[in-house]
Structure 1
Amino acid sequence: MLPKGTLVLGGAASGKSEWAENLLISSGLQLVYLATGRIEDDETNERVAAHKKRRDSRWTTVETPLELGPSLAKLDPSTPVLVDCATMWLSNQMMAEADLEAAQIRLLEALRGCPAPWVMVTNEVGHGIVPDNRLARRFREAQGRLNIALAAEADLAVMVIAGLPQVLKGELP
């Protein structure tokens, strides 16, 4: 049985999305994929296409770049959801010049109210060097705060490194 909330962290290209997908597939249920990314160039288009290729007919994909709450609220309790990913969601919020604190509060409230088990994928951005520009530093700090808040909400937190899961909180189902 899946935990109510799962956070899957990792670096870029660490295998976190694929690991999260496989966790949900193991439930044997129909699944929802909330995609937060926006395709703005060929490279992103290729990455999105690779993600889509992994998903079969068990998945229903909903594109939700900014407001996840309405999509999370209307889920059936028996339909687990993968949100991929919090990093793109945060980036979209910053590009829209949203109030990040208010957006984060809405996201956390939506996860608390979500009737279905949820899995949130996010990037761990705090292991590198201090960025050389103000916007990148602001993003790194906001991502760190968001990850801390998401981990607090999650029953299970897993760091994926080189495709290998390291449990930080809770127990794997």
Structure 2
Amino acid sequence: MERGKIILVLGGTRSGKSSFAERLASKGQRIGYLATALPGDGEMIKRIELHRQRRPIAWITKEETLEIGKAIQEMEQYCDVILLDCLTLWISNLLTMGSEPDVEANWVAREKYIIEQVKQFAQSCQEVKCNIIIVGSEVGMSIVPGNRLARLFRDLNGITNQEIAKIADEVYLVTAGIPIEIKSQEVKI
């Protein structure tokens, strides 16, 4: 089976990464949008609504906060392009509300669990025939966070970005609304 193209779009907060990814996705015919955000407070509800308003009505939206690999495999049946927004929110969801193991009880087990979920997701991406565009945040370019949970989140986000970049055919970094292609083919080191 030949797999679809995997494109990773990274950027900081309000960098324009989602808008760029949406422009890439709009080149497809049957477009699916996989949303991972949780509407936990009023401000997040507004952000989600802005994303909804930007999307064309013809796009098929699925909201899934944890089981994104399974969701992509289901969406493949009726989409030739799937836009996942956002990988970083998915990591946050796994870190704070995943069922196994308890965050407070065992940090090492939580980290191992999430890394395993990331590897399973990467495998799922490689098994579908449709093109996948994955949006994620670059959060490692700032100061070292002052608490353990924030450091774990930052570290897991960086590991996740690296794992997905390994399997991606193209990787873009968006800064100030400008996409910079940082990978367009497999780099042999």
Give yes or no for TM over 0.5. yes
2:50 matched to 1:50? Answer: yes
Matches within 5 A, 1:106-121: 106-121=120-135
Contact kept? 2:115, 2:160, Cα under 8 Å: no
Please state how far the C-alpha of 1:78 moved relative to its aligned partner. 5.3
Quote the sequence identity (%): 36
Match of 1:129 in 2: 143
Match of 1:70 in 2: 70
Contact kept? 2:95, 2:114, Cα under 8 Å: yes
Match of 2:81 in 1: 80
Match of 1:153 in 2: 167
| TM-score for the superposition, normalised by structure 1 | 0.92
2:73 partner amino acid? A
Please state how far the C-alpha of 1:104 moved relative to its aligned partner. 1.0
Match of 1:105 in 2: 119
Supply the distance in 1 between the matched residues of 2:51 and 2:91 (Cα, whole angstroms): 20
Match of 2:155 in 1: 141
Question: Structure 1 residues 88-97 or 136-145, which shifts more?
Answer: 88-97
Task: State the superposition RMSD in angstroms.
Answer: 1.4
| TM-score for the superposition, normalised by structure 2 | 0.85
- Per-residue displacement from partner, 1:97-127 (whole Å, max 9, x unpaired)? 4411221121111111122100000000111
Supply the distance in 1 between the matched residues of 2:50 and 2:91 (Cα, whole angstroms): 22
Match of 1:166 in 2: 180
Extract unaligned runs of 5+ from structure 1.
Answer: none
1:51 partner amino acid? H
2:17 matched to 1:16? Answer: yes
Please state how far the C-alpha of 1:96 moved relative to its aligned partner. 2.3
Please state how far the C-alpha of 1:77 moved relative to its aligned partner. 7.4
The verdict on how the C-alpha distance between 1:53 and 1:82 changes in structure 2, with shifts beyond 3 A counting, is same
Q: Secondary structure at the match of 1:148?
A: helix
2:52 partner amino acid? K
Extract unaligned runs of 5+ from structure 2.
Answer: 101-112
Supply the distance in 2 between the matched residues of 1:40 and 1:146 (Cα, whole angstroms): 23
Please state how far the C-alpha of 1:25 moved relative to its aligned partner. 0.6
Supply the distance in 2 between the matched residues of 1:133 and 1:169 (Cα, whole angstroms): 33
Please state how far the C-alpha of 1:56 moved relative to its aligned partner. 1.1
Match of 2:61 in 1: 61
Contact kept? 2:11, 2:137, Cα under 8 Å: yes
